[in-house]
Amino acid sequence: MFAAAEELAGMAAAEGGKPIYSYLDERACSAGYVLASAADKVFGRREVTGGSIAALINVIDTSRAFEKAGLEPIVIRAEWADRKARGGPGEKIDKETIAKLTSLVDDASAQIVEFVAAMRGMTENAIRDLRGDVFTGTQMVELGLMDDIKSEREAWDLLKEEIRSR
């Protein structure tokens, strides 16, 4: 995702390339919003849902269900790779696994926050203050995540106008 977003940002008019606009139609959350933020301008519908700027990992501890069903998971790992794929089906998810997954989520989220803040001209704290929440198009404009509410046709017309004026 970051490679694509960085490539897009590098082609943008802000970097001496062509103007690139993102249009948010229905939903632009998480990685979808990260990609959209790489554009020179971000427009969308009033009723779009977007944001959710952070990473997450969902895990389910199925160990009790396995136990109740009389199943015992047998996981064979390399002797030196005792942390490999911890928390798989039927395995108890221990505190060390939760800590490791949390560190992965925190690291990925920090990269996302840094990128979106740079692309939108916002501070990293302003992005973190959004707390990974989702917003409507109107709210996204107020927060600086979108430039304006436009129909798709209006956004295309603005892009054409910008290209002609160069």
Q: In this model, does residue 13 exceed pLDDT 90?
A: no
Q: Is the model's pLDDT at 46 over the cut of 90?
A: yes
Report the C-alpha gap between 37 and 23 in whole angstroms.
10
Please give the pLDDT value at position 14.
67
Instruction: Report the percent of the chain where pLDDT is more than 70.
Output: 98
Kindly list the structural domains of the chain, giving each domain's residue range(s) and its CATH number in brackets, ordered by start: 2-164 (3.90.226)
pTM above 0.75, yes or no: yes
Q: Which helix (H) or strand (E) holds 160?
A: helix 152-164
Compute the distance between CA of residue 63 and CA of residue 68 in angstroms, rounded to an integer.
9
Burial class (CB in 10 A: 0-12, 13-18, 19+), 14: middle
Considering only residues 156 and 6, tell me which one the structure prediction assigns the higher pLDDT.
156
Tell me the pairing of strands 49-51 and 134-136.
Answer: antiparallel
- pLDDT confidence tier of residue 4, bands split at 50, 70 and 90: confident
Give the model's pLDDT for residue 8.
80
